[in-house]
């Protein structure tokens, strides 16, 4: 089985600070993984690198077998990899999964009809945020 997300040798420096140093990991479809570390450890920077908000200096990031190198955030989210921000204000009355799926909708102008989410949906069962045909790029 091919990994859904593959990260190898990811690095980012901000002048003299090596914020992310040689990070490598793989995630399988349907897995749930946490990222732990103290304040200033580079967790947020790593998510910024993976989602294109900040370009990485060196390394490889592949999502579903395709490189994400030098892609802008809107093209990365259209491929199915999305993030939320630390100061997010969730939509009241929606599950965590539903709140994350909202992030997957932007910036698409055409979203195909989908069956409504069920309370028993589990991550990985819905096949990612959107089908690749939903949005260009």
Question: Using CA of residue 57, residue 60, residue 63, residue 69, what is the dihedral sign?
Answer: positive
CA distances from 86 to 46, 82, 83, 100 (A): 13, 13, 10, 13
Instruction: Give me the pLDDT at residue 133, please.
Output: 44
Which of 61, 2, 4 is CA-nearest to residue 29?
Answer: 4
Instruction: Give me the pLDDT at residue 120, please.
Output: 54
Instruction: Give me the pLDDT at residue 106, please.
Output: 57
Instruction: Give me the pLDDT at residue 37, please.
Output: 92
Q: What is the mean pLDDT of each run of 10 residues along the chain (137 residues)?
A: 91 95 94 90 94 96 94 90 76 84 61 50 47 46
Radius of gyration for the chain, computed over Cα atoms and rounded to the nearest angstrom? 16
Instruction: Give me the pLDDT at residue 32, please.
Output: 85
Instruction: Give me the pLDDT at residue 68, please.
Output: 96
Task: Indicate the CATH number of 5-105 among 1.10.150.110, 3.90.650.10, 3.40.50.300, 3.40.30.160.
Answer: 3.40.50.300
């Amino acid at each position: 089985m091919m990994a859904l997300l593959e990260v190898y040798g990811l690095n980012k420096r901000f002048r003299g600070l090596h914020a992310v140093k040689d990070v490598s990991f793989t995630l399988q479809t349907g897995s749930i993984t946490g990222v732990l570390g103290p304040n200033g450890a580079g967790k947020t920077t790593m998510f910024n690198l993976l989602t294109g908000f900040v370009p990485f200096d060196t390394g490889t990031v592949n999502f579903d077998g395709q490189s994400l190198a030098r892609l802008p955030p809107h093209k990365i989210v259209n491929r199915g990899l999305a993030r939320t921000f630390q100061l997010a204000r969730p939509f009241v009355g929606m599950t965590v999964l539903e709140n994350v799926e909202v992030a997957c909708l932007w910036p698409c102008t055409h979203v195909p009809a989908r069956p409504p989410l069920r309370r028993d949906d589990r991550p990985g069962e819905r096949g990612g945020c959107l089908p690749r045909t939903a949005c260009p790029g």
